[in-house]
Structure 1
Amino acid sequence: MVGKVSSSKLERDEGLKRTDNNMDFSSWPQVDNINQKNYYTEFLKRDDQVLALRLQQEERLNARKKAAVDIDRARAQAAHEGLPFTEPDPDLDEDVAMDDGGSDYGSKNIIIHVGSQNMRIGLATDALPKTVPMVIAKRSARSEAEDSEPRPKRMKLDDSAPSEEWFGDDFAREYNGMAEDFKRYRRGNKRRVLPNSRDLVTKWNSTNPPDRIPEHSDHSRIDWTELPANPAKAPDYIVGHAALRIPENSRPRYQLHWPIRHGWLNERDYHNRNMLESDFFRILEETIKTELDLAHKKDWNQYSCVFIIPDLYEKVMVAKVLDEFIREFGFQRVCFMQESLAATFGAGYGAACMVDMGAQKTSISCVEDGMVIEESRVNLKSGGYDVTETFVKMMLFDRFNYADFNLMRRHDFLLAEELKEAYTTMSDENISVQLYDFYLRAFGQETRKYSFKIYDEGMLAPLGFFRPSIFDFSDRLVGRHKLIPRSIDLYSGHPNDPMSPAQLSVIAFVNQAIPSAVMAAPAKPARLFPTPISATPNKPTQPRPLGIPSHLNGDREATPLSSPAGSPPPPTEETTGTPHPQPTNEETNPDDTTLDLKTTQPDTETLDRTIPVMPLDQAILTSIHHGSMGDDRRRREFMGSIMLIGGASKTPHLGPYLEMRLRAAMPMFPKDILVAPPPRELDPSVLVWKGGSVFGKLRMTNDSWIGRVEYDRLGARILNYKCMWHW
């Protein structure tokens, strides 16, 4: 047996010697393991590593260099001419020192606030904006009245059918229920109630035909939009006020298109996304050219734009607006601002609960210290147009002598707006059977003077803000997301648009209390082979956080839990529209239900099928409850600074009536609740735009502006660094 031979013997006897050639085992670089207990990175930890901030710093540095050169030049010029030179104050604010503007600072800033029915636009230095209808008329074979069913929708179009059956049993039941509650409310206020008031109205309206006035005797004739005698020379489209004054039977025909509906892009009436977006930006472009006297697009690169967006916005739409303004419009800079924050700028409030009541949506948010509280944002899809339509329905229900009322006709739509502004109120002091008249002016027809009577329709129609079940929600979600997809998070796959716990509370309330605002679920395809019934017991469901409804948590229990803002009140109180509500347990103790909805992903299918509507007073309390976050001091501060803004808020006596309902719902705060109009007698409908103009004139807003260089390098990602809120 041979033993182990030592290396020295092998080297001596066999001549074998190990040599090392200093070569590595592999050409791959060897990386040492990181010490997990002590490692550090500086990635995106400094401002100069963020492109948006670095470009801003470079801009400020260049401005300081330019200012220093200007000072040296002025000093040398003064010395050459023998004049004294005053050195600038070194303690002066940097941005103010670099600013070379004077009293007209902001004259190059365009402020745009787009609504569903009207758009406000103007320069930051203007006292008031220009109000332009958000509509475009395009040449078509048929007008919108000829191409769609009449509005309000009639269940029975037969003229021989009684008016009580025109709108179905549901509307008749709601209307009669509101009328009975209104009688009890008036008796409680010691008002005189005649038992036959409705009969007096229907009898007069059904037996009094209109008087006809020749056109040459009418001193208030309408100036209709004139079209060329040759139809071939007629323009392809008309924008704004002129579009609403085009005759119905014009040659050629024009059809009205509204790109914005209920705060969303109007996907229901369009069949092409490019056409929808083209109409939207064409209205903006033509309005800038005509209303702001900027006819040449080449001059727009000298102007900046502040675009006001909703509190609960859609990211796809905001990114599209930014791209269009930078690339197509050629603006020098663009800034986005939320509506509620702009309203506080216009009103001069530091903390407030802003209730923006528009034509087709109502936004409620709590603002504190220049920031919109994200948890408090509420967006209701109802507004002044719903009151207009309901007012017309109520008058037609009471045999209104102009039975051919159709809101799809242009002159009828303008007439309905005039009637609503003239005869709706939230005060029952002067509610009685009264005689009024109006003039119907249609192109090519004699002016007709109608004398009509109304009783409680003028108050019951705006009372729909507190009883939204009277509104028609049948086609509000038709075509939703059929053209423009929802923004989806690339990592989680969940919807990426902002959502708030207060808005989820509204969704939960609708699913429990207003079935008419929940659209039917789409039919699922039938299985080829039915799922067999398993004999094994089902897997136990995971416990759900307190207060989260089952339809928002993913499971489908038979009895959903209460909403975060409180269970729906009994049908005899809030949901019946009683003018003087009684407080509910949830409202008197809003802190009894505590939950955290930040970690809960909403059911996308449920959100797409639910129209967010809620009684106005309850929606305000829901927003304040989530905005205060359990802090009693903040709750009292928000309740004492509730401000009604928007065109629909100009309904007479709406503020005192809302304050009365809030005091009845929250009796523990008898002196803290205050609903105030805008200060300094500002028009509520332009307050948001006014706040945007104030912001556009500030000199300390450089962090919010997005320039061309930044957008070219980062695209829509620049919004993560430039928005004044969490994007």
Structure 2
Amino acid sequence: MDYLKTVIPSQLVADRGSNLVVINPGSANIRIGLAPQDIPLNIPHCIARYTNQRPKFNLQDQMLNSQVTTAQHMEREKAYDTIASLLKIPFLDEEVANNSFPRKIGRADGYNPQSGKSVAFQWANVYEQDAGSSLALGTSRSKGITGESVEMHEGTGAEEICSGNRKFRGHIFGEEALRISPTEPYCLSRPIRRGHFNISQHYPLQQVLEDMHAIWDWILIEKLHIPHSERNMYSAVLVLPETFDNREIKEMLSIALRDLRFSSAVVHQEGLAAVFGNGLSTACIVNMGAQVTSVICIEDGVALPNTEKTLPFGGEDISRCLLWTQRHHQTWPQVRTDMLTKPIDLLMLNRLKESYCGIKEGELDAVAVVHSYEDGMPAGSHKTRLTALNVPPMGLFYPTLLVPDIYPPPPRSWFHDYENMLEDTLHMEYSRRPDMSDGLFSGISVGYPMWESYPIFSSKPKKEEKVGLAEAITSSILSTGRIDLQRKLFCSIQLIGGVALTAGVIPAVEERVLHAIPSNEAIDTVEVLQSRTNPTFVPWKGGAILGVLDFGRDAWIYREDWIHNGIHFRSGRKYKDSYYVQAQATCYINS
């Protein structure tokens, strides 16, 4: 204990965190790194595999996408006019009437600004380099993750496919996979979609798990330089979003312990980790990711399951809305831009959104360079004035503007089959420690996976909310039922995730949430706390802190136990989840 009284926090993290790998997977990106790092790697969570199938799909899940219906289009236009009224900008029909002629758009081939915002993405090199070289499969040549390369290592399953005297790369990962030309013989897969495993009739569970394993293994080898032979010296901290179901959590634990060969692993909730990442104890955590926005309240380091809300939209929907608004206002070049089927367009639109979109009153325009990516051709540059840049982010509060249904979550029918795959001990009763309350064990049976006993991780697929962000935050906080806690939470809202970087989002959330509180509630103050670090990395940092501070390691699962016994540990040790034990996401229960 003398050591703990004298050691400085950074030294404690360096001493105890050097062998901790913190993994925070999301629908679009995965944040991963060693606990002592200041910031993690932030890599697109995808893999492109060589394919010779015909007909060829550019995306594994593109059959799930749908078109905008007439009703959705009308709802979108109605939402635009509502937002225009709030922002004091012209209505949609007024804009069209005032712009009967297309705006002038010039091709900007010679345009070379100093800003990196206008640098075009380059098509990825899909061919092997010289076979005699040190197994390198080529490198990324664009702005983005530097040194993005793929090497063939034991366990990655990379293969060589000949094309004349050149060889196609078997696997391509990360941002480089998003920059593959649609004409190349590759199919892009994203293991997670809208906060769940991307399982469908076109993308079976086994393939999802194999792809996730391949991506994580490649990062560990190529980016963190942790080979298979040294994995047993490392432990994994899994910081998982609240959207995941119990089976998905179990499968990711299996990937970490069985496939990636970590010696031990622990699971922490993303919302809970975010509180620790910002040095708080009580807060309403609003996680605004690329495809899902979730809300959950934390009190004194304990997550409150009944406060969780999941909204099926995020930053990528705002990017898609940006494209729609520009096309409607005739500011977009006459080029084929489709972020649902051409991932490189998604990269471009995300960058435009991050650079120019914000929430403020009045008209918000900007001169920008839009790039066109035609099949295999060099990128074309088009200088144009983008308009109504403050409208797309307001879709957070008026989701009908975003039309998230055209990129729906994966079907959940596969989940119901799992109950028949459980072991014979499904309905067994078991004893518990006398110091644990009855409320923790109501309806629990041994055979269920970890988070079965709580409403937030129930055995049925979770229902997504069809409301705006302000209503979700208000409903989440008011569901706590205690006025003292409600007042504290309304003044302790924490925005995390990439969308939280949007200019003007903090005052917008404060204003919209205050208006959403019913008039009969005795609450008149709403405050969003400033994040101490990049909001994108707060949960990852919190996971690192939790991993370092967990001295007893009561919540950790060891590789041998998991492989040989699953959720049944030896004769008397059972693995179960508890939200209520020392703010841990999971714990052992000694029967």
Q: TM-score, normalising length from structure 2?
A: 0.76
The whole-number CA distance in structure 1 between the counterparts of 2:300 and 2:272 is 10
Q: CA deviation at 1:203?
A: 2.6
Local SS of the residue matching 2:390? helix
Alignment of 1:165-314 (within 5 A): 167-187=68-88, 196-201=94-99, 203-205=101-103, 208=105, 210-212=107-109, 220=119, 222-226=121-125, 227-228=127-128, 230-231=162-163, 233-250=167-184, 253-268=185-200, 270-294=202-226, 296-314=227-245
The whole-number CA distance in structure 1 between the counterparts of 2:3 and 2:230 is 33
Q: 2:298 aligns with which of 367, 390, 400?
A: 367
Alignment of 1:225-624 (within 5 A): 225-226=124-125, 227-228=127-128, 230-231=162-163, 233-250=167-184, 253-268=185-200, 270-294=202-226, 296-399=227-330, 400-407=332-339, 408-429=341-362, 431-432=363-364, 435-441=367-373, 444-456=376-388, 458-470=389-401, 471-474=403-406, 476-482=408-414, 485-486=417-418, 490-491=426-427, 611-624=464-477
Describe the shift of the 1:634–1:487 C-alpha distance in structure 2 as closer, same or farther (beyond 3 A).
farther
Q: 2:485 aligns with which of 631, 634, 642?
A: 634
Q: Any gaps of 5 or more consecutive residues in structure 2?
A: 130-161, 428-442, 569-573
The whole-number CA distance in structure 2 between the counterparts of 1:210 and 1:619 is 43
Describe the shift of the 1:182–1:709 C-alpha distance in structure 2 as closer, same or farther (beyond 3 A).
closer
Q: CA deviation at 1:670?
A: 6.1
Contact residue 28 and residue 44 of structure 2 kept, 8 A: yes
Local SS of the residue matching 2:222? helix
- The Cα offsets for residues 633-680 of structure 1, whole Å up to 9 and x where unpaired, read as 11111111001100122221111011011222336556531012312x
Describe the shift of the 1:135–1:677 C-alpha distance in structure 2 as closer, same or farther (beyond 3 A).
same
Contact residue 213 and residue 259 of structure 2 kept, 8 A: no
Local SS of the residue matching 1:256? strand
Q: CA deviation at 1:117?
A: 0.2
Structure 1 counterpart of 2:96, one-letter code? R
Q: CA deviation at 1:442?
A: 5.2
Contact residue 336 and residue 374 of structure 2 kept, 8 A: no
Contact residue 369 and residue 382 of structure 2 kept, 8 A: yes
The whole-number CA distance in structure 2 between the counterparts of 1:352 and 1:447 is 45
Local SS of the residue matching 1:385? helix
- The Cα offsets for residues 446-499 of structure 1, whole Å up to 9 and x where unpaired, read as 54232434433x233222211222313156245323378455894479998658
Q: CA deviation at 1:617?
A: 0.8
Describe the shift of the 1:635–1:278 C-alpha distance in structure 2 as closer, same or farther (beyond 3 A).
same
RMSD (Å) for aligned C-alpha atoms: 3.7
Alignment of 1:671-682 (within 5 A): 672-679=525-532, 682=533
Instruction: Mark the structure with the bigger radius of gyration.
Output: 1
Q: Which moved more, 1:476-485 or 1:656-665?
A: 476-485
Describe the shift of the 1:451–1:332 C-alpha distance in structure 2 as closer, same or farther (beyond 3 A).
same
The whole-number CA distance in structure 1 between the counterparts of 2:13 and 2:61 is 54
Q: CA deviation at 1:392?
A: 1.7
2:511 aligns to what?
660
Contact residue 376 and residue 500 of structure 1 kept, 8 A: no
Structure 2 counterpart of 1:622, one-letter code? S
Q: CA deviation at 1:372?
A: 0.6
1:127 aligns to what?
38
Structure 2 counterpart of 1:638, one-letter code? L
Structure 1 counterpart of 2:124, one-letter code? T
Describe the shift of the 1:374–1:203 C-alpha distance in structure 2 as closer, same or farther (beyond 3 A).
same
Indicate the percent of aligned positions where both proteins have the same amino acid.
23
Q: CA deviation at 1:707?
A: 1.7
Local SS of the residue matching 1:373? strand
Contact residue 87 and residue 360 of structure 2 kept, 8 A: no
Q: CA deviation at 1:336?
A: 0.6
- The Cα offsets for residues 690-723 of structure 1, whole Å up to 9 and x where unpaired, read as 1111122225242121123443564224431788
Describe the shift of the 1:288–1:442 C-alpha distance in structure 2 as closer, same or farther (beyond 3 A).
farther
The whole-number CA distance in structure 1 between the counterparts of 2:321 and 2:13 is 50
1:686 aligns to what?
537
The whole-number CA distance in structure 2 between the counterparts of 1:687 and 1:333 is 23
Q: CA deviation at 1:243?
A: 1.3
Contact residue 359 and residue 505 of structure 2 kept, 8 A: yes
Describe the shift of the 1:659–1:498 C-alpha distance in structure 2 as closer, same or farther (beyond 3 A).
farther
The whole-number CA distance in structure 2 between the counterparts of 1:145 and 1:712 is 36
Q: CA deviation at 1:342?
A: 0.5
Q: CA deviation at 1:381?
A: 2.0
Q: CA deviation at 1:259?
A: 0.6
- The Cα offsets for residues 596-631 of structure 1, whole Å up to 9 and x where unpaired, read as xxxxx99x5xx67x64332111111111122x2x22
Local SS of the residue matching 2:576? helix
Q: CA deviation at 1:378?
A: 1.8
Contact residue 388 and residue 417 of structure 1 kept, 8 A: yes
Local SS of the residue matching 1:138? strand
Alignment of 1:699-718 (within 5 A): 700-711=551-562, 714-717=565-568, 718=574
Q: CA deviation at 1:435?
A: 4.7
Q: CA deviation at 1:133?
A: 0.6
Contact residue 312 and residue 377 of structure 1 kept, 8 A: no
The whole-number CA distance in structure 2 between the counterparts of 1:703 and 1:146 is 42
Describe the shift of the 1:678–1:686 C-alpha distance in structure 2 as closer, same or farther (beyond 3 A).
same
Q: Any gaps of 5 or more consecutive residues in structure 1?
A: 1-88, 155-166, 505-600
Structure 1 counterpart of 2:292, one-letter code? K
Contact residue 285 and residue 296 of structure 2 kept, 8 A: yes
The whole-number CA distance in structure 1 between the counterparts of 2:302 and 2:317 is 31
The whole-number CA distance in structure 1 between the counterparts of 2:526 and 2:87 is 24
Contact residue 357 and residue 645 of structure 1 kept, 8 A: yes
The whole-number CA distance in structure 1 between the counterparts of 2:71 and 2:110 is 39
Contact residue 33 and residue 40 of structure 2 kept, 8 A: yes
Structure 1 counterpart of 2:353, one-letter code? K
The whole-number CA distance in structure 2 between the counterparts of 1:314 and 1:632 is 31
Describe the shift of the 1:690–1:186 C-alpha distance in structure 2 as closer, same or farther (beyond 3 A).
closer
Structure 2 counterpart of 1:409, one-letter code? K
Describe the shift of the 1:183–1:479 C-alpha distance in structure 2 as closer, same or farther (beyond 3 A).
closer
- The Cα offsets for residues 55-97 of structure 1, whole Å up to 9 and x where unpaired, read as xxxxxxxxxxxxxxxxxxxxxxxxxxxxxxxxxx8x8789x9x
Contact residue 577 and residue 586 of structure 2 kept, 8 A: no
Structure 2 counterpart of 1:363, one-letter code? S
The whole-number CA distance in structure 2 between the counterparts of 1:452 and 1:652 is 22
Q: CA deviation at 1:356?
A: 0.6
Q: 2:27 aligns with which of 116, 122, 139?
A: 116
Q: CA deviation at 1:394?
A: 2.6
Contact residue 335 and residue 706 of structure 1 kept, 8 A: yes
- The Cα offsets for residues 206-229 of structure 1, whole Å up to 9 and x where unpaired, read as x646455599xx994545432138
Contact residue 356 and residue 366 of structure 2 kept, 8 A: no
Q: CA deviation at 1:330?
A: 1.9
Structure 1 counterpart of 2:186, one-letter code? Y
Describe the shift of the 1:378–1:109 C-alpha distance in structure 2 as closer, same or farther (beyond 3 A).
same
Describe the shift of the 1:712–1:239 C-alpha distance in structure 2 as closer, same or farther (beyond 3 A).
closer
The whole-number CA distance in structure 1 between the counterparts of 2:501 and 2:195 is 20
Describe the shift of the 1:304–1:182 C-alpha distance in structure 2 as closer, same or farther (beyond 3 A).
closer
The whole-number CA distance in structure 2 between the counterparts of 1:379 and 1:484 is 20
